[in-house]
């Protein structure tokens, strides 16, 4: 009987360790805090990735449009899989929707996001 209890305790401890590891991985594997996005002729965009994760709580809000991969937006535009302003329109639409609901929202004007002095690769 003692062996059964010991096995049960070991299974519970291992289960807790695995669960803790999974939670820790999901918290720590959130991608970069900020991402510099190629914003075309208007200037690049300093995208606060972590702030969006915290506010939206759902990666699919953005990543249903494009996968989680460095440089994917530029690649998909080049391949014709994203229209030129498709990502921008998604962002502005979300910002406007949140503002209309009285929630904290990001900018909707061009110059609030685009910055001609911001260089790609800068973080």
pTM of the predicted protein model = 0.69
Do 84 and 114 fall into the same domain?
yes
Do 82 and 95 fall into the same domain?
yes
Q: Are strands 35-37 and 114-115 parallel, antiparallel or unpaired?
A: unpaired
How many domains are there within the chain?
2
Do 101 and 67 fall into the same domain?
yes
Do 24 and 58 fall into the same domain?
no
112 Cβ neighbours under 8 A, 6+ residues apart:
106
Using one digit for the tens of pLDDT, what is the confidence trace for 36-50? Answer: 999 989 999 999 999
Angle in degrees, CA 29, 34, 35, rounded to 5: 100
Do 65 and 5 fall into the same domain?
no
Q: Which residue has the higher pLDDT, 26 or 110?
A: 110
Do 20 and 55 fall into the same domain?
no
- Are 108 and 99 spatial neighbours (Cβ–Cβ below 8 Å)? yes
Can you give the pLDDT at residue 123?
46
Do 110 and 53 fall into the same domain?
yes
Do 52 and 107 fall into the same domain?
yes
Can you give the pLDDT at residue 34?
93
- Mean pLDDT, the chain, rounded, equals 85
Do 8 and 55 fall into the same domain?
no
Please report which confidence band the pLDDT of residue 12 belongs to, taking 50, 70 and 90 as the band edges: confident
Using one digit for the tens of pLDDT, what is the confidence trace for 79-115? Answer: 999 998 999 999 999 999 999 999 999 999 999 999 9
- Which range marks the domain in which residue 36 is found? 32-123
45: nearest Cα among 115, 122, 121, 103: 115
Report the percentage of the chain scoring pLDDT > 90: 57
């Amino acid at each position: 009987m003692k062996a059964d209890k010991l096995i049960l305790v070991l299974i519970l401890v291992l289960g807790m360790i695995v669960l803790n590891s999974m939670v820790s991985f999901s918290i720590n594997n959130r991608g970069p805090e900020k991402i510099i996005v190629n914003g075309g002729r208007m200037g690049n965009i300093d995208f606060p990735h972590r702030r969006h994760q915290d506010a939206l709580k759902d990666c699919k809000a953005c990543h249903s449009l494009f996968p989680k991969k460095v440089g994917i937006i530029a690649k998909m535009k080049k391949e014709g899989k994203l229209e030129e302003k498709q990502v921008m329109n998604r962002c502005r639409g979300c910002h406007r929707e949140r503002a209309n609901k009285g929630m904290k929202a990001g900018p909707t004007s061009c110059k609030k996001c685009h910055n001609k002095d911001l260089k790609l690769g800068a973080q």
